[in-house]
Amino acid sequence: MHLKSDCVAFLFETIHKWNPDKGTKAFSYFNVVAKNWLTINSRRLLKHARRSVCIDVPEDFTLDEKRNLAEIDIVMSHEEVMLKKERYNAINEMFCYIKGLLKDDRDIRCINAIIHVFNNIDSLDYLNKRAVFVYLREISGLNSPELSSSLSNIRKHYRKTIGPSNMFDLF
C-alpha cells in the first residue's frame, strides 16, 4: 500500500519532466517511469528484507546471522544469571550421579572427559558434533569405537535419570 502511494507521489513530482514535443504520449511515458520506479524500489525493499532478520524466529537465521548474533554481548538479567547457574550446577550434579553409576574404567574416563569439556566450554574453539567427539577422544585417551561404546552406556544412564518423573528434571 505504501509502495503504491509513494509511486503516485513520485509521478506527481516528475510530471514536469514529460515533454509532449518529443512525440510520446503521457500515458506511455508515465507507465515506463512508474515501472522503473517500482522495479528499483521493490529491489531496494527486498534487499533490505534480506539484510534484516526477526530476532523472534532464530530458526530462520543463516549461519552468518547466527555467528554475528553470537558476537553481540547481551547483558542477562539477574534472574537469568541465577537460572543459568542453577541449571549449570544441576547438570554437574547429574554428571556426578551418572559417574557414580558407572563401573567400567572406559566409561568413567569418558564421563570425566565430558565433565571437563562441559566445565571448559567457553574456552573451546569449535562446538560441533565432530569437534566435541574429537575433544572427548583426546581427553579420555579412548579410541573412536571405545568412546562410542562408552557414550552409548552413559546415554542409557542419562535417559534413566532425566525427566519430570525421574531424579533430574533439567528442562
Long-range CB pairs of 11-14, under 8 A, 24+ apart, other chains included: 11/37
**Do 95 and 151 fall within a single domain?**
yes
- State whether 108 and 124 are in the same domain: yes
Range of the structural domain that residue 156 is part of:
78-161
Check if the beta carbon of residue 92 is closer than 8 Å to that of residue 117: no
For residue 154, count CB atoms less than 10 angstroms from its CB and return exposed for 0-12, middle for 13-18, buried for 19 or more: buried
**Residue scoring higher pLDDT (24 or 87):** 87
Chain segment 106-142, per-residue pLDDT in tens: 999 999 999 998 888 888 777 788 888 888 999 999 8
Domain boundary among 71, 97, 130: 71
- Give tens-digit pLDDT for 85-109: 888 888 888 888 888 988 989 999 9
**Band of residue 28 on the pLDDT scale cut at 50, 70, 90:** confident
168 φ/ψ angles, rounded to the nearest 5 degrees: -115, 125
